[in-house]
Amino acid sequence: MPLRVAIISPTFGAYGGLEAFVLTLAAGLPLESGSDVRIFFKRTAGFRLQPALEVGIESLSNRTSFVNRGSFALIRALAWADVVHAQNPSADTVLGSILLRRPVLMNVINHRLPGRSVGQRLWDYCLRRADRRFYISEFVRQTWEGTTTWPGSEVVFPICRLADGVKVPGQRNGFIFAGRWIANKGVDTLVEAYAQAGLDPAVWPLTIIGDGPLRTTIERRVRELALRGLAMPGFLSETAKAEAIRSARFMVIPPNTREDFGLTAIEARHAGVPCIITRDGGLPEAAGNEALSCEPGSVADLATCLRAAAAMPAAEYARRSEATRATLAGKLRPPAFYDAAYRELHRIRS
C-alpha cells in the first residue's frame, strides 16, 4: 500500500513561489515511487483562481484539490494521509493533525513577525508541535528559533521548475528584474539607480518583467528621466521568462522587505546568471557568494553595483557565472529527499 502524503498549502489562487514549490514536489514523486502525494490547496481570504495556477495544476489535476480553512474537507484530507506536509504552522492543519495523530513535516516559508498576539502565540505553539521543520532560509529560521537550532529543524532551500539551457557569457546582455511591482520590492529603486549609473543603454539595457500597482508610477518616472534602454514587457510565459533570464548578464533583485528567500535568484543561478542584490533577509543565502550586494533602499549603492557589474572583466564574469551555477547544485534537494523524510516520520510514528 503506498504511503499517503497530504501537502497542505495556502493559496490566493495565483501561481507564486509556494504554488511552484508544492507542484514541483508532487510532480517529482509519481505513484511509482511508492508514495501517493496529493496537494490540498487551502483557499485564503480573497481567493480567486488565476489562469496561471489553472495551467500549473493541469498535469496534476487528479492529485490536486481545493479546500477551505478549517473545513470538513480539510479534516478529511488529514484523516486520509499517513503523513502531513504543512506549509507554515497554521492552526487548522497542525491541530487537526495532532487530533488525528498524524506526523507533520512543516515547511516554514515566512519569517516571524514581532508581537505576542493570540494568533502569533498559536503559530508558535503549532511550530513546536511539528515533528520536523524545514525553513526556507537561515534568516527565517532565526526569526522563529533564535540562534540555537531546535532538534528536528534544518534549512532546506525550496525547489521549483527550472528551465534547462545556459548561454555562454558572450551571448548575454544587460540587466533583468522579474517580480511584482509593489512597494519595497525595489523596482522603483532600480529605475532610479539605472538612471544614476549612467551606463550605455545599448550595451547595458534593463528589462523589467512583471506588473503591479506601481506600473503607472514607474512608467511616469521613466518618462521624466527620459530613460533609454529600458524594456517593460509585463508578465511573460514561463518559457519566455526563462529565455529572458538566461539571456541577461545579471539578475537584479533589490527588495527592502525582509525577503524570506528569493526564487528568482535560484532561477538566475541555475542559468549561470550572477545576481545583484540587496542585503535583505534571506536573499543573500539564495543569491550565493558570487552576488554583488548593496544596502536595501539605497539608490546610490545600487547604482554603484550596476557600474561595478558593467566594468567587470570578462574573465571575472565567466568565473562568477560558473561558480554561481556550480554552488547552487549542492543546495537544491531532489523530491526523493522529501520522500525519505516522509517515510522516516511514518516509521517513527507507526
pLDDT in tens, 198-241: 999 999 999 999 998 999 999 999 999 999 999 999 988 889 99
Q: Tell me how far apart the terminal alpha carbons of the chain are, to the nearest angstrom.
A: 15
Q: Is the confidence at residue 23, as pLDDT, over 70? A: yes
All cell numbers assigned to 256: 527592502
Q: pLDDT tens digit string along 72-81? A: 999 999 999 9
DSSP E strand stretches across the chain: 3-11, 35-43, 64-68, 83-87, 104-108, 132-135, 153-155, 175-178, 206-209, 230-234, 250-253, 275-278, 292-294
| Residue 31 backbone phi and psi in degrees, to 5 | -60, -25
What does the pLDDT average to over 332-338?
A: 92
Residue 133: which of 147, 118, 114, 149 has the closest Cα?
A: 149
pLDDT at 180: 86
Q: How far apart are CA 248 and CA 53, in angstroms?
A: 26
Q: How far apart are CA 246 and CA 251, in angstroms?
A: 9
Quick check: 272 and 172 in contact, CB under 8 A? no
Give the chain's domain count. 2
Same domain, 109 and 216: no
Q: Left, alpha or beta for 81 (phi > 0: left; psi -120 to 50: alpha)?
A: beta
Q: Is the confidence at residue 350, as pLDDT, over 80? A: no
Residue 92: which of 108, 113, 112, 73 has the closest Cα?
A: 73
Same domain, 147 and 190: no
User: Which residue range(s) make up the domain with 213?
Assistant: 169-329
Q: How far apart are CA 190 and CA 176, in angstroms?
A: 10
Q: pTM for the full model?
A: 0.92
Same domain, 251 and 125: no
Same domain, 105 and 202: no
**Average pLDDT, whole number, for the chain?**
94
Q: Is residue 74 part of a domain?
A: yes
The single residue listed with the C-alpha cell 480567486 is 48
Quick check: 281 and 257 in contact, CB under 8 A? yes
pLDDT at 31: 65
Q: Is the confidence at residue 32, as pLDDT, over 70? A: no
Quick check: 126 and 90 in contact, CB under 8 A? yes
Q: Is the confidence at residue 61, as pLDDT, over 80? A: yes
Same domain, 37 and 184: no
The single residue listed with the C-alpha cell 489535476 is 61
Same domain, 134 and 186: no
pLDDT at 272: 97
Q: Is residue 17 part of a domain?
A: yes
Same domain, 174 and 144: no
Q: Is the confidence at residue 30, as pLDDT, over 80? A: no
Same domain, 32 and 153: yes
Same domain, 133 and 275: no
Q: Is residue 190 part of a domain?
A: yes
- Dihedral sign from CA coordinates of 41, 43, 44, 48: positive
pLDDT at 33: 75
Distances (CA, A) of 254 to 56, 129, 158, 299, 316: 27, 35, 20, 10, 22
All cell numbers assigned to 100: 488525528
Same domain, 137 and 180: no
Same domain, 96 and 68: yes
CATH no. for residue 37?
Answer: 3.40.50.2000
Q: Is the confidence at residue 349, as pLDDT, over 90? A: no
Q: What is the share, in percent, of the chain residues with pLDDT greater than 70?
A: 99
Q: Is residue 183 part of a domain?
A: yes
Same domain, 186 and 226: yes
Q: Is residue 164 part of a domain?
A: no
Task: Go through the chain and tell me how many residues it has.
Answer: 350
Q: Which residue has the higher pLDDT, 348 or 129?
A: 129
Q: pLDDT tens digit string along 115-138? A: 889 989 999 999 999 999 999 999
Quick check: 272 and 171 in contact, CB under 8 A? no
Q: How far apart are CA 224 and CA 168, in angstroms?
A: 36
